Amino acid sequence: MSTSLPPKEKNHKPGTPPLVSLISGGVAGGVEGFLTYPFEFAKTRVQLGRLPGSLSTAPSSQIPKNPFLIVPHIYKSEGLAALYKGCSALVFGSVGKDAVRFLSFDTVKNAFKDPETGALTPARNMLAGMTAGVVASVCAVTPTERIKTALIDDARHDKRYTSNMHCIRTIIQEDGFKGLYRGLVGTTLKQASATSFRMGSYNIIKDFEETRGVEQNTGVNFLNGAIAGVITTLLSQPFDTVKTRSQSAKATTTMQAIRSVMLEDGVRGFWKGTVMRLSRTVFSGGILFTTAEAVAKIVGPILAR
């Protein structure tokens, strides 16, 4: 009489519940957006380039080209509040953006993960990130980035906008509702690529570590997020530059933004602001994923009751 062997135990990793993804992503996005905003402000100032019609002797030309000197320069000349111009719009957008990104990513990941290990192949990790980036761009990122960029650009010269709501009303009055979606193409390209690289590479690294028994603690999460931030910045910077130009206070189309970058700085202009953005994304990647993992560990058991 033959005896059957017991089935091999599967190392099944449960999927992340949608509500946990939504909450952890939103909280992490808000924390990351606020803590790293001065870096984002400096990066945006660099990418906006010279003021329209400015001469080499104009005050705007006195702003340092070195992005690390922009923060102290603005602080001395315009005060601390200037460094957080447009911050509330970005933080609000970051909450929505990362809530949608984490929810979309985990939804795709849960659908296509390996039934035994709970992991995705590298290609599917990248595809899940790309899908999450497109959804986030349409639902949250484009309008909030448009408002943030317009506020920062307006503060350099016209100073027309008195608040976030005044900025929104003015944009809609002058350009219609579509004005809030100026730069949609550039933003979506940037978000699709950035989220694909960021969330894809983070999860590829994490899956690689877990299969080799590396404990996932705060330090490891931060390091993985920082590495993902470096990869994301270097590969998606041109999309970010075009997006910023097309969402300035004097709104332009995507093609006009590309031409203006080429005329001012040539091909290297598409990587303008890379150093400052890299400084931000190294920290933001670490902060984002560390916070998201920590919040998920707290919220998950509470919602499971």
User: Both ends of the chain: CA-CA distance in Å?
Assistant: 46
In the prediction, which pLDDT does 217 show? 92
Give pLDDT, residue 4: 47
CATH code for the domain defined by 19-48+66-304: 1.50.40.10
Tell how far CA 1 is from the center of its chain: 63
Confidence at residue 7, expressed as pLDDT on a 0 to 100 scale: 46
Please say whether the beta carbons of 260 and 252 come within 8 A.
yes
- Residue 72's identity, in one-letter code, is P
Best CA proximity match to 28, nearest among 299, 305, 292: 292
pLDDT value at position 59?
45
| Domains of the chain, residue spans | 19-48+66-304
What letter represents residue 234's amino acid? L
Q: Which two tokens stand for residue 176?
A: 């219609």
Q: What angle do CA 259, 263, 268 make, to 5 degrees?
A: 95
CA dist 100 and 156 (Å) reads: 32
Helices 142-154 & 184-211, crossing angle to 10 degrees? 120
163 vs 174: CA distance, rounded Å: 16
Q: Provide the pLDDT for residue 276.
A: 73
Burial 16-50 (b: 16+ CB within 10 A, else e): bbeebbbbbbbbbbbbbbebbbbbbbbbbbbbbbe
What pLDDT is stored for residue 54 in this prediction?
A: 45
Question: In this structure, how many other beta carbons lie within 10 angstroms of the beta carbon of residue 176?
Answer: 10
Q: Where are the alpha helices (DSSP H) in the chain?
A: 18-35, 37-48, 67-78, 80-83, 87-112, 122-136, 142-154, 164-175, 184-211, 218-246, 254-265, 274-303
Give the per-residue pLDDT at 1. Answer: 46
What distance in Å separates the CA atoms of residue 76 and residue 18, rounded to the nearest whole number? 45
Phi, psi of 293 (to 5 degrees): -65, -40
Q: What is the pLDDT of residue 139?
A: 86
d(CA 16, CA 56): 54
Residue 144: the pLDDT is 85
Over the chain (305 residues), the average pLDDT of each successive run of 10 is: 46 74 94 86 71 43 66 82 79 86 88 74 88 88 85 79 88 89 84 88 90 90 92 86 75 79 86 79 88 92 84
Predicted pLDDT of residue 13? 61
Pair 39, 285: CB distance under 8 Å: no
State the pLDDT at residue 221: 93
pLDDT for residue 277: 78
**Predicted pLDDT of residue 243:** 78
